[in-house]
Amino acid sequence: MRIGILTGGGDSAGMNPALRAVVRTAWQRGAEVIGIKRGWKGLAEGDHEIMTPGSVSGILGRGGTILRTFRYPEFATEEGTAPIAKTIGDLNLDGMVIIGGDGSFRGATKLTKEFGLPVVGVPATIDNDIPGTDMSIGFDTALNIAIDAVDKVRDTATSHGRIFVVEVMGRHYGLLAAQTAIATGAEEVLLPEIPFNIDDVARRIKEGYSRGKQHALVIVAEGAGKASYITFELQERLKRDVRMVVLGHVQRGGAPSGYDRILASRMGYRATELLFEGKHGVMVGIVANKFKTSSLEKKTKVSPKAVLRDARLMEKLV
């Protein structure tokens, strides 16, 4: 058996331990593993290497992905798809494990449906916006990076009595921002799923200062609005020092947390087993600490219910 493995979309901490688990599990089963470099673009260009347990030694604690990755929107077009079909034929693959987020799962579905290639997906994205699993690989690490950063910002915010707007990643889904806010006791959280009125935000911050608060932390998900705009508007209304921190890609890098290392190792192992069991067109998930298999399809949008629930919980906590 010849298994291809690819990491696609935005990287997340834990992709390496997932790769390691796939290679080692496949190797123990006597399969050959072909690592596709630079995600879908590398697949289109036939960029690959043979992987052995030696190729994945020492990567359990390394951030990013040793296979590297690439945004490849061309896969949605005919011109972008044709070279991928060619590589799959040339490499004579019997199946693939795709590690990535919703965009990669759309690609994986295409591989199964259009080329009949057995594929299993492993959810890896700091957004944690993929249904079928409690956690995606990289979310825990990104959350902890954001918490650490906001804790540090709070120290200086309190010293100066300032307001800080901290922008957290998440263009379409606000869970990372919501959980960062809950875990840091932030005064405000602005999410793409919940419309907000900047006058109300300013009023609540003002009331907080009147009650004796020494600072205000406003966590903004990338998709809720530009931190620079929110900073400017708050400064205008409150006539106080407002500073801004954009965490950006810092949240995607660094060593995976212990949680992500274990999650990734379990998922990588199970995904490979599923291929050998002949179950494909599916993704592996872990729900309530048990493996769960679900369809790769219809993964593009998740209900924001979880985010709303977290946000409501936060209202009670502040």
Catalytic residues: 127
One residue of 109, 127, 179, 247 binding ligand F6P per CB under 6 A: 127
The H helix count followed by the E strand count for the chain is: 10, 11
Residue 193 interacts with ligand F6P (CB under 6 A): yes or no: no
CA pair distance 292, 122, nearest whole angstrom:
12
Q: How far is the CB of 11 from ligand F6P (least distance, A)?
A: 8
> Residue 123 interacts with ligand F6P (CB under 6 A)?
no
Residues 62-91 that bind ligand F6P (CB under 6 A): 71
Q: Among 152, 171, 301, 312, which residue interacts with ligand F6P (rule: CB under 6 A)?
A: 171
Go through the chain and tell me how many residues it has: 318
Strands (E), 113-191: 119-123, 163-168, 188-190
Kindly state the smallest distance separating residue 230's Cβ from ligand F6P, in Å: 17
Size of the site for ligand F6P (CB under 6 A): 11
Q: Which of 252, 261, 270, 280 binds ligand F6P (CB under 6 A)?
A: 252
Interacting span for ligand F6P (CB under 6 A) from 58-66, 120-128, 202-210, 264-272:
120-128
Binding residue for ligand F6P (CB under 6 A) from 140, 222, 260, 310? Answer: 222
Q: Which stretch binds ligand F6P (CB under 6 A): 21-29, 122-130, 153-161, 237-245?
A: 122-130
Q: How far is the CB of 208 from ligand F6P (least distance, A)?
A: 29
Sequence-separated contacts (24+) of 243-247 with Cβ below 8 Å: 243/157, 243/162, 243/163, 243/164, 243/165, 244/164, 244/165, 244/166, 244/167, 245/149, 245/153, 245/164, 245/165, 245/166, 245/167, 246/166, 246/167, 247/145, 247/146, 247/149, 247/166, 247/167, 247/168, 247/169
Nearer residue to ligand F6P within complex by CB, 17 or 64: 64
Residue 147 corresponds to which amino acid? Answer: I
Q: What 3-state DSSP class applies to 173?
A: coil
Contact indicator for 217, 157 with CB cutoff of 8 Å: yes
Q: Provide the minimum distance between the beta carbon of 294 and ligand F6P in the complex, in angstroms, as a whole number.
A: 20
- Which residues of this protein are in contact with ligand F6P, per CB under 6 A? 10, 71, 101, 125-127, 169-171, 222, 252
